[in-house]
Amino acid sequence: MHPITAINPLTNSRLVGEVELYFIENPYLKIEDPKERYPEGKTLSLKGVKGIFMGSDYNFIFSPDMQRKVIQNCIDDNRSTYMRFSEHRPVDYRIQRMLATNGRE
């Protein structure tokens, strides 16, 4: 096994132990008209939003399906901040290719 170093984005502290990954779907993306998704001056409701457990950092290392799902659903603004794998040589090259092609190997 090759360990992953994870950083808490709020505190910039290194996480110790298992890191759990959850899939959270944005319900507002289901609204067809982009102008209606986030109306100005209105509070967004998080009613019905839930995280679905996907697996841990261990699962991420060894599951191409999980890697693909995480990469395909990571918004572009977060890719450079949260999807850095330069320290993890055993999985780095395949994941870097997947990031460049939005999850296609």
Q: What is the pLDDT of residues 6-57, one digit of tens each?
A: 677 778 787 777 778 888 887 887 888 888 888 788 888 888 788 899 988 8
Element (H, E) at 54: strand 51-56
d(CA 52, CA 55): 9
**Helices 64-72 and 89-100, packing angle to 10 deg:** 40
pLDDT at position 2 is 47
d(CA 4, CA 76): 22
CA separation (Å) from 69 to 13, 23, 33, 38, 54?
A: 26, 9, 25, 25, 10
d(CA 1, CA 14): 19
4 and 57 Cβ atoms separated by less than 8 Å: yes
86: pLDDT confidence band, cut at 50, 70 and 90? low
71: pLDDT confidence band, cut at 50, 70 and 90? confident
pLDDT at position 18 is 77
Element (H, E) at 60: helix 57-62
> In this model, does residue 90 exceed pLDDT 60?
no
Q: State the pTM of this model.
A: 0.55
pLDDT at position 26 is 79
57 and 29 Cβ atoms separated by less than 8 Å: no
